[in-house]
């Protein structure tokens, strides 16, 4: 009984072992109550706030005045109280705050200082984390009990509920919808005239509605937040994080939005292009109601089916990880993992701070600016050190990792680092394998249940189609091949290579601030070596189509492009506009390509065309450099929910070879495209020291490289997902482990679930 009590006592389970954040956090009514009392309001024509701007000599005096009804709960006042300075020392000084916040701070432990902010679920979680860190578990559990009491009490006092008048529909809704309909009509007209393909029309219409929906949502939010100085009940519930999401509020006051098509399982979820324009306050028409039931039904079916999958995943994880136990203090390894901030292009997905916290440094780390020691080898990286490293110019740090631990069985305490449930270094005998398995398996069930919250609304991120400088600096290009071309906007440069990238360099120190690769077929707006400022457009491209561009001027000849064999003419029913679409042919000797020839009829360049591409020119046309020859429609707008995610997680954990693996190069070198053998295209890659590798790529795959492109080892040559086995063969085990950890994390992160890397490493 004693052991069970020690393990299950609520006070011992304040921190979540999966990520070290507090798990015992007030929810719903408690959050609402605390939010309500810490919100301030000023006197306006609606009501007079008693005691606004008065000054008190201590919190006690404020409470007396409040009990005597001399001041209102939400009044902004000044009070002399104990505040934590920047250096962490408690000082007594006069501050601006509200009466409610003074009441709340009666509960907060002295050492934490004065908390002077609007409390939401997020900020409460951080505050509880701080309290645990500064004062320890016992005091923290008392604090939790106190704020529970206060929260319930104040939610009751505030009398917070909402009625129909609280749901405000913005006046701009009507004009926005008219504007959107006009845009959609224009796109439809373009389609009827034959300027764009059916696929483009669909993508653009969905884009328009997504954009309008987002603008409407921001109008709704602005209106609600300014209503009654932000004391609108619906807005308070949303803003405090007690209940409801932006999506749901949008469906109440804005428009219901785009819905997903019901489909047979296996084919991706398409989006119905006519959105539901009504919201729940106005009421839906019969047709709209019918459409929206699909989404709801899908959510319920998903829930029932996916619980089993998630449970099975958890079981398999336990099965493999159960004998991972901390069984020594230090394995004495000299290896570690070089860890940097995780970036997706340039947006930092996970900062260095989060990735280093609670780990142990492998080497002494010095600050490159002044040579001071930041952390010594074998020392825990705590909050302060992690912050110092984050603020120094260091890109990354080598840390001890479970992946490089050299224990015969189990792991050692130094490689594992901090036990997230206690915030201290892990003890011998801790069953880290089981903790990891539970941490990864547990959200699996939530993730599957996450699909129906929005009632099947399709959220489609408007396609990104440009790169904008995020910093000032000097831009430098690498491997960028361009051709000059005339467009409607005047002369621009079009990028031809696929391996081109740019860096933005800090002018004084020469440090690289941002690197990114430039997609094939994009328009360049800046010159090499020029100074750019933040917010400049560097390049842009067509978000709906991948293109093939002519590098030379000349005359077009078609090769093996035979009607009914390698292409069919699709004429749109509505427009009668015809265009050639390449189809998969049985006859493997025929290999459709477009040739550009000069005046004498000599071949300048041959372009192979993948299946499904639309040809944009006719035989015998004269083309300019940079003219688009072929468009390959990109499939955008599939909605990804974790239904795609759970199988993806299992696929990664089992390191399966994906169903359509990409062909990956094993050496650095220059590509030459060869002929065709048995339905496969030959590619040779020659490295600088003369080594030659041959690859065969199936013709149905889209080839990502071109003649004379320079490729690096591990780069995919064709589309598809990279197989872990290839990474292992080319870059070694460390790279595979990193690829798998990051891949799995990506799935969870899409769903907003935080799990510490070390669990995946285990």
- Tell me which architecture the domain covering 2-158 has in CATH: Orthogonal Bundle (1.10)
Q: Which residue has the higher pLDDT, 500 or 24?
A: 24
d(CA 745, CA 591): 41
CB hemisphere CA count around 333 (13 angstroms):
26
Strand order, beta sheet including 473-478:
512-517, 501-505, 473-478, 531-532
Question: Phi and psi (nearest 5°) for 93?
Answer: -150, 170
Contact residues for 371 (Cβ-Cβ < 8 A; gap 6+): none
Long-range contacts of 261-265 (CB under 8 A, 24+ apart): 261/294, 262/294, 262/297, 262/298
603 CB-near residues (< 8 Å, 6+ apart): 595, 596, 597
Number of continuous H segments (helices) and E segments (strands) in the chain = 19, 35
β-strand pairing of 578-582 with 614-615: antiparallel
What ranges in 708-762 are assigned the alpha helix state H? 724-731, 733-750, 757-761
For residues 264 and 247, give the distance between their C-alpha atoms in angstroms, rounded to a whole number: 26
User: How far is residue 32's CA from residue 97's CA, in Å, rounded to a whole number?
Assistant: 19
Q: Which residue has the tokens 């939530």?
A: 446
Residue 67: both structure tokens together: 């009990």
Return the structure tokens found at 184.
């959609």
Q: Please, what is the Cα angle at 152 between 149 and 158, to 5 degrees?
A: 130
pLDDT in tens, 269-322: 567 778 888 888 888 889 888 888 877 777 777 777 777 888 888 888 888 888
pLDDT exceeds cutoff 90 at 428: no
> Do residues 242 and 155 touch, judged by C-beta distance below 8 A?
no
Q: Residue 674, SS3?
A: strand
Please provide the DSSP assignment of 514-551 as one string.
EEEEPPTTPEE-S-TT-EE-TT-EEEE--SSEEEEE-S
Looking at CATH, the fold of the domain delimited by 547-633 is given as OB fold (Dihydrolipoamide Acetyltransferase, E2P) (2.40.50)
pLDDT bracket for residue 239 (50, 70, 90): confident
Q: Which residue has the higher pLDDT, 635 or 499?
A: 499
Q: Which residues make Cβ contacts (< 8 Å) with residue 721, sequence separation at least 6?
A: 658, 660, 661, 662
Among 394-408, 476-490, 564-578, 735-749, the range scoring the smallest mean pLDDT is: 564-578
Please check whether residue 452 is in contact with residue 302, taking contact to mean a CB–CB distance below 8 angstroms: yes
All CATH 2.40.50.100 domain ranges of the chain, comma separated, are 466-541, 547-633, 659-761
Q: For residue range 163-210, what is the model confidence (pLDDT) as tens digits? A: 888 888 888 899 999 999 999 999 999 888 877 778 778 878 888 888
pLDDT of 267 higher than 50: no
**Which of 337, 358, 363 lies closest to 425, judged by CA?**
358
Q: Is the pLDDT of residue 126 over 70?
A: yes
Res 684: pLDDT = 81
The predicted structure's pLDDT at residue 751: 66
pLDDT of residue 703: 67
Q: Is the pLDDT of residue 638 over 50?
A: no
User: CA 549 to CA 605: how far, in whole Å?
Assistant: 11
Residue 643: predicted pLDDT: 42
First to last CA, the chain: 31
Annotation: CATH topology of 466-541: OB fold (Dihydrolipoamide Acetyltransferase, E2P) (2.40.50)
Whether the predicted pLDDT of 644 surpasses 60: no
Residue 680 DSSP SS3: strand
Taking 70 as the threshold, does the pLDDT of residue 347 lie above it? Answer: no
Q: Which of 89-103, 172-186, 249-263, 438-452 has the lowest mean pLDDT?
A: 438-452
pLDDT at 268 over 80: no
* Residues facing 595 on adjacent strands: 557, 606
DSSP string, 287-321: HHHHHHHHHHHHHHHHHHHHHHHHHHHHHHHHHHH
Pairwise CA distance, residues 233 & 220, whole Å: 14
3-state class of 209 per DSSP?
helix
pLDDT at 456 over 70: no
Tokens of 672: 């030459």
> CA-CA distance, 745 to 501, in Å (whole number)?
26
Q: Do 473 and 531 touch, CB atoms closer than 8 A?
A: yes
What H or E segment, with its residue span, contains residue 418? strand 418-419
Judged against a pLDDT cut of 60, whether residue 478 lies above it is answered with yes
Which residues belong to CATH 1.10.274.100 in the chain? 2-158
Question: Largest Cα–Cα distance of the chain, in whole Å?
Answer: 100
Q: What is the tens place of the pLDDT at every residue in 3-40?
A: 888 888 877 788 888 777 888 888 888 999 999 989 88
Q: Mean of the pLDDT values across residues 652-680?
A: 73
CB atoms inside a 10 Å sphere around CB 174? 10
Q: Has residue 446 got a pLDDT over 70?
A: no
How far is residue 24's CA from residue 139's CA, in Å, rounded to a whole number? 14
pLDDT value, residue 64: 92
Greatest mean pLDDT among 168-177, 334-343, 544-553, 583-592 lies in 168-177
Q: Supply 291's token pair.
A: 């459409």
* Sign of the CA dihedral with 652 first, then 657, 663, and 667 last: positive
Residues for the chain: how many in total? 762
Q: Do the bridges between strand 326-328 and strand 411-412 make them parallel or antiparallel, or are there none, so unpaired? A: parallel
Name 376's Cβ contacts closer than 8 Å, sequence gap at least 6: 361, 364
Task: Identify the pLDDT of residue 487.
Answer: 63
Q: Give yes or no for a contact between 494 and 524, defined as CB atoms under 8 angstroms apart.
A: yes
Predicted local distance difference test score (pLDDT) of residue 181: 92
Is the four-CA dihedral 584, 586, 588, 592 of positive or negative sign?
negative
Is residue 454 very low, low, confident or very high in pLDDT (cuts 50, 70, 90)? very low
Q: What is the pLDDT of residues 209-226, one digit of tens each?
A: 888 888 898 898 888 888
pLDDT given for residue 341 in this prediction? 78
The continuous run of DSSP H or E covering 385 comes out as: helix 383-391
Nearest-angstrom CA–CA distance, 526 and 532? 8
For the chain, percent of residues with pLDDT exceeding 70: 84
Output the pTM of the full model: 0.70
pLDDT at 370 over 60: yes
Above 80 in pLDDT, residue 749?
no
Average of per-residue pLDDT across 731-754: 75
Q: How does the average pLDDT of the chain come out, rounded? A: 78
Q: Which CATH architecture does the domain made up of 659-761 adopt?
A: Beta Barrel (2.40)
Token pair belonging to 661: 């693996």
Q: What SS3 state is found at 690? A: coil
> Cβ distance 405 to 331 under 8 Å?
yes
Token couple for 195: 């300027």
Residue 640 has pLDDT above 70, yes or no: no
3-state secondary structure of 483: strand
């Amino acid at each position: 009984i004693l052991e069970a009590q020690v393990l299950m006592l609520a006070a011992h389970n304040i921190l979540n072992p999966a990520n070290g954040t507090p798990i015992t956090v007030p929810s719903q009514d408690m959050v609402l109550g605390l939010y309500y009392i810490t919100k301030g309001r000023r006197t306006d024509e609606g009501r007079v706030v008693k005691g606004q701007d008065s000054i008190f000599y201590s919190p006690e005096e404020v409470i007396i005045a409040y009990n005597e009804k001399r001041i209102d709960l939400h009044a902004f006042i000044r009070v002399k109280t104990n505040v934590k300075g920047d250096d962490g020392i408690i000082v007594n000084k006069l501050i601006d705050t509200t009466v409610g916040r003074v009441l709340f701070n009666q509960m907060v432990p002295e050492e934490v200082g004065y908390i002077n902010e609007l409390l939401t679920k997020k900020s409460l979680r951080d505050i509880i984390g701080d309290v645990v860190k500064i004062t320890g578990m016992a005091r923290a559990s008392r604090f939790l009990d106190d704020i529970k009491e206060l929260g319930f009490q104040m939610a009751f006092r505030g009398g917070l509920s909402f009625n129909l008048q609280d749901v405000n529909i913005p006046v701009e809704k009507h004009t926005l919808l008219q504007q959107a309909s006009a845009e959609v009509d224009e796109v439809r007209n373009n389609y009827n005239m034959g300027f764009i393909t059916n696929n483009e029309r669909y993508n653009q219409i969905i884009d328009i509605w997504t954009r309008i929906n987002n603008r409407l949502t921001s109008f709704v939010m602005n209106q609600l937040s300014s209503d009654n100085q932000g004391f609108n009940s619906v807005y308070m519930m949303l803003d405090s994080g007690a209940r409801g999401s932006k999506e749901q509020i949008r469906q109440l006051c804005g428009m219901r939005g785009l819905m997903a098509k019901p489909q047979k399982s296996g084919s991706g979820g398409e989006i119905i292009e006519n959105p539901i324009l009504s919201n729940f306050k106005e009421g839906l028409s019969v047709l709209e109601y019918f459409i929206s039931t699909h989404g709801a039904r899908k959510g319920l079916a998903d829930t029932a089916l996916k619980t089993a999958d998630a449970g099975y995943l958890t079981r398999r994880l336990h099965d493999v990880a159960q004998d991972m136990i901390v069984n020594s203090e230090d394995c004495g390894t000299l290896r570690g993992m070089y860890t940097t901030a995780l970036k997706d292009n340039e947006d930092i997905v996970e900062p260095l701070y989060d990735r280093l916290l609670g780990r142990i440094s492998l080497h002494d780390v010095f600050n490159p600016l002044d040579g001071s020691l930041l952390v010594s080898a074998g020392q825990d990286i705590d909050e302060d050190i992690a912050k110092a490293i984050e603020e120094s110019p260091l890109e990354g740090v080598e840390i001890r990792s479970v992946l490089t631990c050299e224990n015969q069985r189990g792991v050692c305490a130094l490689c594992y680092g901090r036990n997230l449930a206690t915030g201290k270094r892990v003890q011998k005998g801790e069953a880290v394998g089981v903790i990891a398995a539970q941490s990864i398996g547990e959200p699996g069930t939530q993730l599957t249940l996450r699909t129906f919250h929005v009632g099947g609304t399709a959220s489609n991120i408007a396609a990104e189609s440009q790169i904008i400088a995020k910093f000032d600096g000097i831009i430098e290009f690498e491997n960028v091949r361009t051709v000059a071309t005339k467009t409607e906007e005047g002369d621009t440069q079009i990028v031809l290579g696929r391996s081109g990238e740019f860096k933005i360099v800090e002018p004084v120190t020469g440090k690289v601030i941002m690197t990114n690769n430039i997609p094939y077929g994009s328009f360049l707006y800046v010159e090499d070596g020029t100074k750019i400022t933040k917010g400049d457009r560097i390049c842009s491209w067509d978000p709906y189509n991948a293109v093939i561009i002519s590098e030379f001027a000349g005359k077009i000849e078609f090769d093996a492009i035979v009607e009914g064999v390698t292409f069919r003419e699709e004429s749109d029913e509505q427009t009668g506009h015809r265009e050639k679409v390449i189809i998969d042919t049985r006859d493997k000797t025929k290999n459709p390509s477009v040739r550009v020839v000069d005046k004498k009829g000599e071949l300048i360049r041959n372009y192979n065309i993948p299946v499904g591409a639309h040809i944009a020119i006719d035989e015998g046309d004269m083309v300019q450099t940079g003219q688009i020859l072929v468009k390959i429609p990109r499939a955008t707008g599939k909605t990804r929910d974790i239904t795609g995610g759970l199988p993806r997680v299992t696929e990664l954990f089992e390191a399966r070879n994906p169903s359509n693996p990409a062909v990956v190069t094993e050496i650095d070198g220059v590509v030459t495209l060869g002929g065709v053998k048995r339905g496969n295209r030959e590619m040779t890659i020659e490295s600088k020291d003369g080594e030659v590798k041959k690859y065969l790529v199936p013709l149905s795959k889209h080839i990502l490289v071109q003649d004379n492109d320079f490729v690096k080892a591990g780069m995919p040559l064709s589309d598809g997902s990279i197989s872990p086995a290839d990474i292992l063969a080319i870059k070694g085990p460390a790279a595979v482990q990193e690829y798998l950890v990051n891949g799995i994390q990506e799935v969870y992160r899409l769903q907003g679930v935080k799990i510490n890397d070390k669990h995946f490493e285990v």
